[in-house]
Each structure stands twice: as C-alpha cells, then as structure tokens.
Amino acid sequence: MRKEQLQKFHTGGFNDRLFVTKLLGAVWAGKTLMILTRILGRGGTTLPGRIALTIAPRLSSSLIGQLAEGSLIVTGTNGKTTTTALITGILKEAGFRCVHNQSGSNMAWGVASALIEASSWTAKLPGNYAVMEVDEGAFPGVTQSIQPRGIVLTNVFRDQLDRYGEIDNIRNSLKRGLEAQPTSGFQVINADDPSLVSIENNSCTTRWTYGLDLDLPTDTFQNTGRDIKTCPRCQKKLNYDKIYFAHLGHYHCPSCNYRRPEPDIKLTGRRINSAGTAVLQISLPNEKIELAFPLLGTYNLYNLLAAVTCAQALSIPVRVISQALEKAVPSFGRMETFKLNNKTIIMALIKNPVGANEVLRTILTQKDNIAILMAINDKIADGTDVSWLWDVDFEQLSAVKDKLSAVLVSGLRAWDMAVRFKYAGFNPDQIQIEEETNLAINKAIEKTPPGGLLFILPTYTAMLEIHRTLNKMGLGKPYWED
C-alpha cells in the first residue's frame, strides 16, 4: 500500500473497504493470539504472524509503508540476530524509533508478528525504521514484499542441509533477494567472504563492503567449517593470505585474479584494556575511530563491522555509532549471560559447524571450573539433519576436558550428542545424559563449581525451552519484556 493510500486510510479517505477490513482483522487476530500465547508462557512469534498473513497477505508491506525511513534487512547464515540488534541500537542512539524482530523469529511470519506487536489496534505503525533479520530462504519473498531501503549480508555457510542443501542454494536465494530490492537502495557485503562478493545481480543499488585487516594468532582448530575452497568464478583452487575462520579472510585466485576487494570499512587494530574489554580501531572512508566493544568472539567483530557499515550508508554520525556500540549487550540467546549466586551462566545458540566452532573457541579462552550443557533438538526450526555435529571440532574441547567440571547432553538428540562426544575423545563415564532440558539445566547448575562458568549450547527450539526455564528461576526475562 502506498504512503498516500495509508494516509487516506487513517484519515477516513480510503475507500478500499475490503482491504481495510482484512488489515484490521489481521492485526486484531495477531495481537489477540500474541496475548494468549504469552499468557501460556510462549513467545508469540510464529502463530500470530501466520494467521495474520493468511487474512491479509499484504500486511507487512502495508505496515512498513507507514514508516518514514523504510526498512532494513539483515540476512546470511550466522550473525543475523546480533547484527540486527547492533544496527537497531545505533539508530535508537541517533534518536530514531525502530521496530525489529528481536526474538530471532526470521521467517515471513516472524517479521509480520514483530510488526503487529509494534502497531496499534487500528493498524497504525509509529516509528522511523523497521530493522528485520530474515532467514536466507525467506529472503527473496520478504524483500519482494517490504522493498527494503538497505540489505546487509553477513556470510554464507552450510546450514540446515534438510532445508538448504549445499551453499550454492543459499547463494542463489541471496541473489534473487538482492535483485528484488529497489534500485534506490544500498547493500552491505562482507568482503572477506568470497561466496558473497561473487554474487552478481542486476540491481543498480549502491554497494558497501567491510572486512578485517588484523593479524590474529593461529589456532589448532581443524577449520572443518571451511565451505569455499575453490574460486567461485573459475573453480580453480582459491589461495589465502589470511584466514580468520572457516573461509572468511584475504583470498585471491591465481588463475583468474578474482580476489577480495579492498573494504570500504575495515577493522585495523584490537587490544585489550585493563578492564578486559576489547578496544578496536576501525578505518572509515574519511576517518578512523577507536571504541571499546564488550561482545566476545571474532565472529562479533564481523557483526560490529556490518553494523558500522550500514550506519555509514545511512549517514549516521560517527560519534553516535561509537556511543551505541560501546553499550552493546548480547542478543537473545547469543552469548547471553545470567548470574546465579556466585555462578555465571552463558547461553550461546549453535546451529552449524562454523558457529559452533566459534563458540568453542570462546570457551577455550576461559579458565578452569567450566561446565558444559549441550541441548540438541531436531525440530523444523532447528533443522532435522543433525549430521553437522560431526563437522564441529569437539576434539578441541576434549583436549582440555580436565578443566571441565561436568559435561551434560540433553534434548531430543541427546544420545546422538553423547555419541559425538565419545568419538571426540571424552570418556563415556564423563558424559551425563538427561533428555529433559529443564532437569538438565538444574543438574548442570548443580555441577557448576562456585565461581565457575556454565556454558549452555542449545539449538534454536532448545534455546527457547531453556530460556523459559531460566525465566521461571528468576534469571532474565522474556524478550518481549525488554
């Protein structure tokens, strides 16, 4: 619906009564279902949007059409939720009102549910921007629907083989989505990912790139998540001068000269201050900035750069960008931290080999007194194929098993995870199996030493279950109460 049509609708001058009736009915149905599902302790991120889109298929475009600045989409395999949260934080610091799907529900109905929640019962959506993370498979359809002003692409890795197959399918989906974007928009691309840079589309949009320019210490990980080994253009071997993780790094093809472009925005320095926080140096097109960034992990450096680059594309002042990022906190289920007495609980979603390896890398930087709880489900939202567990370098965790106070496995595929740990080098007697996640959480907390750390590594639906249990224990609160 065009903005002038929406203005007529809200001022009484719009005479498409059937559409108005459907839109209002969809919003009312969605809001009512959201209230009911949350009374039952559920998130209300899927069913309200599904039902509302059945009633009014153009609901998302109609609501977003009311926003003065339009919409932004973040997509890719890993980093969507954190990048979306960082961009939203920057825009809010700049004084804009934003809508975003902070729960991580990123299919078309998750986007619709977030918009319904932010709108009024009369289908008015106040604010400036919608910042939405979108599933790679849903990306073309959502882009076609909401016509985003900006698109941010994080990376492409193997993920949910039952849905996507190999990464060529993901790249094709991203290509279709990029081509559906209005030509007046902009795109933000990770220059360190050769599979992203090689995506060519017919869009005439402005393209921004970002990447790392750091010398990081080498590690002993097997890099089992490296999915790109040949040149995307000529299929010859791709060479690397630097690899940060998986296939992200500084690459070039000696056969056809395909290479990493020089990023518009790059991270050029990192040091740790006396408080243990990373202080980062970032090179922008016209200046350099330094800021303290509290989030852990190399993968979060990429999320940070994606957010900075998007903000630059929107002409947000550098001072505002720095202030917002220094206040960053972990997103829902992504290195989210809870305190219980003198114990620390950290929950980190895992869903593919690359993401899981990066979480393990963070765990290995910690001191002793660590307990581990793996909670693996194989529902549709998790991906029904759990063979990816065999591509995660759990052998690195086994190599330091003496510093682990407990190793527990839970969820629908708890026994599969126990077998994987066994073949990674853990003694079967050290692996505790508790299929019920609520019981497993209590056991894991009990096994965590005073002053120790409990790392919970769940798949998506297991994360939601665990979050509800922790909320009932008085730890944290549901995302919709933030």
- Same domain for 286 and 413: no
pLDDT at 12: 42
**Residue 293 counted as domain residue:** yes
- Same domain for 305 and 262: yes
**Residue 18 counted as domain residue:** no
Tokens 């690899």 label which residue? 243
Secondary structure class of 87 (helix, strand, coil): helix
CATH classification of the domain holding 92:
3.40.1190.10
Give Cα separations from 235 to 158, 189, 231, 232, 239 (angstroms).
18, 22, 5, 6, 12
Domain finish residue from 326, 359, 394: 326
pLDDT at 5: 47
- Same domain for 312 and 343: no
Sign (positive or negative) of CA dihedral 378, 381, 386, 391: negative
CATH classification of the domain holding 351:
3.90.190.20
pLDDT at 478: 62
- Same domain for 210 and 146: yes
- Same domain for 367 and 317: no
CB burial class (10 A; 0-12, 13-18, 19+) of residue 327?
exposed
Strands 248-252, 239-245: parallel, antiparallel or unpaired by DSSP?
A: antiparallel
The pair of three-digit structure tokens given for residue 70, joined into one six-digit string:
């339009």
Give Cα separations from 232 to 167, 191, 238 (angstroms).
11, 14, 9
DSSP state of 437: H
**187, 206 in Cβ contact below 8 A?**
yes
pLDDT at 432: 94
Rounded Cα–Cα distance for residues 429 and 422 (Å): 10
pLDDT at 281: 94
Task: Please give the tally of structural domains in the chain.
Answer: 2
pLDDT at 227: 66
Catalytic-labelled residue, pool 241, 385, 391, 429: 385
Q: List per-residue pLDDT tens for the chain, 482 residues long.
A: 445 544 444 444 445 778 788 999 999 999 999 888 877 766 667 888 999 999 999 999 999 999 999 999 999 988 899 999 999 999 999 999 999 988 778 889 999 999 999 999 999 999 999 999 999 889 999 999 999 999 999 998 875 544 444 677 888 899 999 999 998 899 999 999 998 988 877 666 789 999 999 887 655 555 555 667 788 888 888 899 988 888 899 999 999 989 999 999 999 998 887 777 789 999 999 899 999 998 877 888 999 999 999 999 999 999 999 999 999 887 776 778 888 888 999 999 888 888 888 888 888 877 778 899 999 999 988 888 888 899 898 988 888 888 888 999 999 999 999 999 999 999 898 899 999 998 999 999 999 989 889 999 999 889 889 988 888 888 766 654 55
**Is 385 annotated in the active site?**
yes
- Same domain for 219 and 128: yes
Nearby residues of 425 by Cβ (< 8 Å), 6 or more positions away: 395, 398, 399, 401
Nearby residues of 365 by Cβ (< 8 Å), 6 or more positions away: none
Rounded Cα–Cα distance for residues 355 and 481 (Å): 27
pLDDT at 162: 43
Domain finish residue from 278, 300, 326: 326
DSSP string, 104-164: ---SHHHHHHHHHHHS-TTS---SSEEEEE--TTTHHHHHHHH--SEEEE-------HHHH
**Residue 46 counted as domain residue:** no
- Same domain for 299 and 403: no
Give Cα separations from 31 to 42, 71, 111, 250, 374 (angstroms).
14, 22, 14, 48, 34
Size of the chain, expressed as the number of residues it contains = 482
- Same domain for 361 and 432: yes
Q: Distance between terminal CA atoms of the chain?
A: 31
Domain finish residue from 272, 302, 326: 326
Q: Which helix (H) or strand (E) holds 360?
A: helix 353-364
Instruction: Please tell me the pTM assigned to this model.
Output: 0.83
pLDDT at 43: 62
**Residue 158 counted as domain residue:** yes
Give which of 305, 407, 410, 393 is closest to 356, Cα–Cα.
393
**Residue 25 counted as domain residue:** no
pLDDT at 1: 43
- Same domain for 285 and 422: no
For 254, the domain range is 67-326
**Residue 139 counted as domain residue:** yes
